[in-house]
Amino acid sequence: MRVFDSSERALVTTQPEGEARMYVCGITPYDATHIGHASTYLAFDLLHRAWLDAGHEVFYVQNVTDVDDPLLERANATGDDWRALADRETERFKDDMIALGVLAPRVFMTAVESVPLVVEATQNLVKAGKAYLVATPDAQHPGRQDVYFDVTTDPHFGQVAKLSPEQMRETFAERGGDPDRPGKHHPLDPLLWRVAREGEPSWEGETLGAGRPGWHIECASIALRHLGMGFDVQGGGDDLIFPHHEMSASHGQVITGDAPFAQHYAHAGMVRLDGEKMSKSKGNLAFVSKLRESGIDPQVIRLAILAHHYRTSWDWTDENLAAAQTRLDRWKDALSRHEGPDPEPVLAAVREAVSTDLDAPRALAAVDAWVDEVLTSGGSVAGAPGLVARTIDALLGVRF
């Protein structure tokens, strides 16, 4: 199984020792799952399937950040209870993933569930002098302190994204970091523990005081607990490479004194709508649940996404859906027959395409070519459609 490692910037061969271990960062459940998210989870679903096909068990872990600033802001803005919002959207996300045929992670852990892990890890980092306290600007509660991680304690810091110091600082500020916060030792130091604020949910933090976890330590703690160091693939959308994956790796490395956090880093491209990146801030989102409610077969949505290579950025359009519907209809027609051309080359081609950097478009083209042959000239191998159907189900997650 080869995949493009965005840290090495090269195609690499994954080499799981027995069980393959994968961590893919989950959603912050304050809104429904859009096609961009779905596209990322479908990419790693192909990796999951390719490893299974290669004979590996797969230990797949995913988190869900069910308490975070955007979630609390959304709940406040709409007068919703943050827990109800998180639960509702997490359930909808699971329903969407099941409908799209995504194989479930073995562990699906929430930020709230990760609190004891984060508290333990953060206390240990403070004790070891690798994390420090920063006073909050809260005049009503003087003495309350947040906890920050000291990036200079990690000799490997910067090796995931391999950005220049200027790029790191710029990207950190763009993606939720706080380089200019007074009291920090280094502009890039990330938050580990946010001490309780008025009107915000908080959890018992032992010596840290009540508060809630930072995002990077949430993922690092969950990955360490379930996968341990040196797991095979850390995945996510390509906006996570920095700072999120850099910071999680750094936390893991400093907590354990070991490296690397993950053997490989793989990232999915962005999906655009009307030529712009699909994002909550722009409001240009195509939701999986809305498409399903409008009667579109989830298999069509899956095929529309798989028609694009996961590392490219592409536009979601109605034409994508129409083309996927046509493809599904043709496949169904061919697969409903009793005979067809030799199916073995299709199995080999789909297997080869998926195991070469998850090249779904090439896999679909191989199936299309076989389907064309069935629909134009038939074929004489009894049971061939059955083998092709099982190939499509196992490797591409499209069921008939």
Q: Which residues sit at the interface with Zn ion, rule CB under 5 A?
A: 25, 219
Q: Strand, helix or coil at 5? A: strand
> What Rg do the C-alpha atoms of the chain give, in angstroms?
23
Minimum distance of Zn ion from residue 72's CB (angstroms): 18
DSSP-derived pairing of the beta strands 145-149 and 314-316:
unpaired
- Closest to Zn ion by CB, 4 vs 261, is 261
Minimum distance of Zn ion from residue 244's CB (angstroms): 6
Minimum distance of Zn ion from residue 102's CB (angstroms): 17
343 token code pair: 């199916």
- Closest to Zn ion by CB, 25 vs 305, is 25
DSSP-derived pairing of the beta strands 145-149 and 191-195:
antiparallel
DSSP-derived pairing of the beta strands 20-24 and 58-64:
parallel
Angle CA 246–251–254, to nearest 5: 120
- Closest to Zn ion by CB, 114 vs 320, is 114
Q: Rounded CA gap, 75 and 66, in Å?
A: 12
- Closest to Zn ion by CB, 1 vs 61, is 61
Q: How many residues comprise the chain?
A: 400
Minimum distance of Zn ion from residue 267's CB (angstroms): 12
Q: Rounded CA gap, 41 and 27, in Å?
A: 10
Best CA proximity match to 52, nearest among 113, 116, 104: 104
Enumerate residues 6+ apart whose C-beta is below 8 A from 276: 282, 284
Minimum distance of Zn ion from residue 149's CB (angstroms): 15
Minimum distance of Zn ion from residue 54's CB (angstroms): 26
- Closest to Zn ion by CB, 214 vs 397, is 214
Q: Rounded CA gap, 168 and 61, in Å?
A: 27
- Closest to Zn ion by CB, 247 vs 286, is 247
Minimum distance of Zn ion from residue 226's CB (angstroms): 13
- Closest to Zn ion by CB, 219 vs 358, is 219
3 token code pair: 């995949």
Find out whether 353 and 309 touch, Cβ atoms under 8 Å. no
